[in-house]
């Protein structure tokens, strides 16, 4: 059956097949039981007649007594023949009976012959009368049972068809009624628009069988709504970040072209424009890198790295930047290794340290702690003091183009992609990144998983 076939049609076909097979089996079993019951009754009657004949054959003048007994028998469905070898000695005088071929076995009742026919079960017994061997053939008309079974079959088939139709109709109506919540759910889903993704479905209005589906759908809506909000904010931030340098470039070009200038003045103007373009190129490059990581196009080439060696070279570079704000570095537990891509690792740690330098309070220390968990991996934690950080939405710090309060950093450098790149690098490694705020101190945790 094709996958696009209606569920109602599939269910109806399955139910109709199941009902048909079940009722046919029931019909067969009932009819077979009745046939066996009637055969047992007829067999008991024939055996009873045979026992009477055997009893009479042992008496004096047995043959005449058997004849008298048969003549006095009012059972119109009973017939006997008495044979001496193959010579007919006596037969019942009942005109409506016309037994066919003789048989010494019980024969099955036939229900296929017309109602006017007669079906017989036959039994042959041998008796000794006056020291002479006789054969007595006993016939019993079973047509009454045959006709009853034929009528009973018609009645069963009629009941079967009626019950089949009632069950199928009830099943159809039940399925249609049972699908009403699904139709209602589908109609409700169709009304949800992109600008109304927060309008989740009410679980209490639907039956329990649909609650798991509705919970999954609501969860999907929540994720889509969050992604939609982030995408909208990201688009607005991109437009804002691109507008500022582009406006600067346009203004500088307009000022430069407003009047004739000397070659050194034009060179100064070109250097200023080049600086803005380099900032744009860096932002575009970072955004392209993030887009590639989102699509799984960048993989980490992991190798064992010495944390002491890597951090030492990085801190030597950042020492000069830290001296401008009188910052110091405190390294804790530096004897460890990490499995990571060397270039990505340096970029992630550099972005976190650069962020700490930019937002740290003047003259405060920056702590770098290293720890190892055999079941999870290597944890790199960077802590710095930043007054007023408790009011910042720390959950958004890893969002793209998000920047904290510039007034605290005293600089407008950066476009807010550094921590987003850190998050993407850790996720490429299969790890996890998060931050914690404790008073005026903020800590960024970078977990690199084990091999």
Side-chain half-sphere CA neighbours of 113 within 13 A: 13
Answer for the pair 341, 353: CB distance below 8 angstroms, yes or no. no
DSSP code string of 159-196: HHHHHHHHHHHHHHHHHHHHTHHHHHHHHHHHT--GGG
Question: Do 27 and 157 sit in the same domain of this protein?
Answer: yes
For residues 178 and 170, what is the distance between their CA atoms, to the nearest angstrom? 12
For residues 192 and 187, what is the distance between their CA atoms, to the nearest angstrom? 9
Question: Do 444 and 332 sit in the same domain of this protein?
Answer: yes
287 falls within a domain: yes
Last residue of a domain, one of 294, 321, 339: 294
pLDDT tens, position by position, 14-52:
888 888 888 889 888 988 898 888 888 888 888 898 898
β 365-373/328-332 pair status: parallel
Answer for the pair 409, 338: CB distance below 8 angstroms, yes or no. no
pLDDT value of residue 113: 36
In sequence order, the 6+-apart residues with CB closer than 8 A to the CB of 52 are 69
- Judged by phi (left if over 0) then psi (alpha if -120 to 50, else beta), residue 413 lies in beta
When the pLDDT of each residue in the chain is averaged and rounded to a whole number, the result is: 79
* SS3 state at 367: strand
pLDDT at 393 exceeding the cut of 50: yes
For residues 122 and 103, what is the distance between their CA atoms, to the nearest angstrom? 6
231 falls within a domain: yes
Question: Do 334 and 426 sit in the same domain of this protein?
Answer: yes
Alpha-carbon dihedral angle through residues 390, 391, 394, 400, given to the nearest 10 degrees = -140
CATH number, domain of 62, equals 3.30.450
Helix (H) or strand (E) holding 36: helix 7-57
Determine the distance from the C-alpha atom of residue 73 to the mean position of all C-alpha atoms in its chain, rounded to a whole number. Answer: 76
Question: Do 28 and 155 sit in the same domain of this protein?
Answer: yes
186 falls within a domain: no
Question: Do 40 and 135 sit in the same domain of this protein?
Answer: yes
pLDDT at 127 exceeding the cut of 60: yes
Tokens for 240, please give them.
């804002």
pLDDT at 102 exceeding the cut of 50: no
Answer for the pair 365, 325: CB distance below 8 angstroms, yes or no. no
pLDDT value of residue 415: 63
Question: Do 288 and 258 sit in the same domain of this protein?
Answer: yes
216 falls within a domain: yes
200 falls within a domain: no
Question: Do 277 and 331 sit in the same domain of this protein?
Answer: no
153 falls within a domain: yes
Question: Do 354 and 311 sit in the same domain of this protein?
Answer: yes
Question: Do 137 and 256 sit in the same domain of this protein?
Answer: no
Return phi, psi of residue 307, to 5°. -65, -35
Last residue of a domain, one of 173, 199, 232: 173
Question: Do 267 and 347 sit in the same domain of this protein?
Answer: no
pLDDT value of residue 148: 84
Sign of CA dihedral 51, 56, 62, 66: negative
188 falls within a domain: no
pLDDT average, residue stretch 237-256: 79
pLDDT average, residue stretch 197-223: 77
pLDDT average, residue stretch 365-391: 82
pLDDT tens, position by position, 324-373:
888 888 888 766 788 888 888 888 898 899 888 988 888 889 988 888 77
pLDDT tens, position by position, 294-338:
777 778 888 888 888 888 888 888 888 888 888 888 888 766 788
376 falls within a domain: yes
Question: Do 374 and 316 sit in the same domain of this protein?
Answer: yes
pLDDT cut 90: percent of the chain above it? 1
CATH number, domain of 251, equals 1.10.287
Domain tally, the chain: 3
Question: Do 268 and 310 sit in the same domain of this protein?
Answer: no
Confidence bin at 101 (pLDDT 50/70/90): very low
CATH number, domain of 366, equals 3.30.565.10
Answer for the pair 74, 140: CB distance below 8 angstroms, yes or no. no
pLDDT value of residue 118: 56
Find tokens 């036939």 and name the residue. 110
User: Which residue range forms the structural domain that includes residue 254?
Assistant: 208-294
Sign of CA dihedral 182, 183, 184, 189: positive
For residues 31 and 348, what is the distance between their CA atoms, to the nearest angstrom? 83
Highest average pLDDT, of 277-281, 289-293, 411-415, comes from: 277-281
Task: Tell which wins on pLDDT, 391 or 424.
Answer: 424
Last residue of a domain, one of 147, 173, 199: 173
């Amino acid at each position: 059956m094709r996958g696009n076939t209606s569920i109602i049609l599939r269910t109806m076909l399955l139910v109709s097949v199941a009902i048909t097979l079940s009722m046919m089996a029931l019909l067969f079993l009932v009819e077979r039981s009745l046939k066996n019951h009637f055969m047992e009754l007829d067999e008991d009657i024939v055996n009873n007649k045979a026992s009477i004949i055997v009893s009479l054959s042992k008496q004096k003048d047995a043959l005449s007594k058997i004849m008298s007994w048969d003549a006095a028998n009012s059972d119109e469905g009973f017939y006997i023949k008495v044979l001496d070898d193959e010579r007919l000695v006596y037969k019942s005088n009942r005109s409506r009976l016309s037994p066919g071929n003789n048989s010494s076995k019980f024969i099955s009742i036939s229900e296929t012959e017309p109602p006017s026919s007669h079906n017989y079960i036959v039994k042959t017994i041998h008796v000794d009368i006056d020291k002479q061997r006789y054969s007595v053939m006993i016939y019993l008309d079973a047509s009454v049972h045959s006709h009853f079974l034929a009528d009973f079959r018609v009645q069963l088939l009629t009941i079967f068809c009626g019950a089949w139709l009632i069950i199928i109709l009830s099943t159809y109506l039940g399925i249609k009624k049972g699908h009403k919540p699904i139709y209602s759910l589908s109609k409700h889903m169709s009304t949800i628009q992109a600008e109304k993704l927060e309008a989740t479905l009410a679980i209490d209005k639907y039956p329990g069988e649909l609650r798991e589906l509705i919970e999954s759908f609501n969860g999907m809506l929540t994720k889509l709504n969050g992604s939609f909000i982030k995408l909208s904010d990201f688009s607005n931030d991109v437009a804002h970040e691109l507008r500022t340098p582009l406006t600067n470039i346009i203004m500088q070009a307009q000022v430069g072209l407003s009047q004739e200038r000397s070659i050194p003045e034009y060179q100064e103007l070109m250097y200023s424009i080049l600086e803005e373009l380099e900032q744009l190129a860096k932002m575009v490059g970072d955004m392209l890198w993030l887009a590639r990581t989102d699509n799984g196009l960048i993989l980490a080439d992991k190798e064992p790295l010495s944390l002491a060696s890597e951090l030492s070279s990085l801190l030597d570079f950042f020492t000069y930047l830290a001296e401008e704000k009188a910052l110091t570095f405190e390294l804790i537990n530096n004897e460890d290794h990490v499995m990571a891509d060397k270039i990505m690792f340096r970029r992630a740690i550099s972005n976190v340290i650069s962020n700490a330098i930019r937002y740290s309070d003047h003259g405060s220390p920056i702590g770098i702690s290293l720890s190892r968990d055999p079941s999870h991996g290597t944890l790199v934690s960077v802590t710095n003091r930043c007054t007023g950080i408790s009011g910042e939405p720390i959950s958004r710090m890893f969002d793209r183009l998000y920047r904290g309060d510039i007034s605290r950093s005293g600089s407008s450098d950066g476009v807010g992609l550094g921590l987003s790149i850190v998050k993407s690098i850790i996720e490429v490694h299969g790890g996890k990144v998060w931050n914690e705020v404790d008073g005026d101190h903020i800590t960024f945790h970078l977990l690199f998983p084990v091999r």
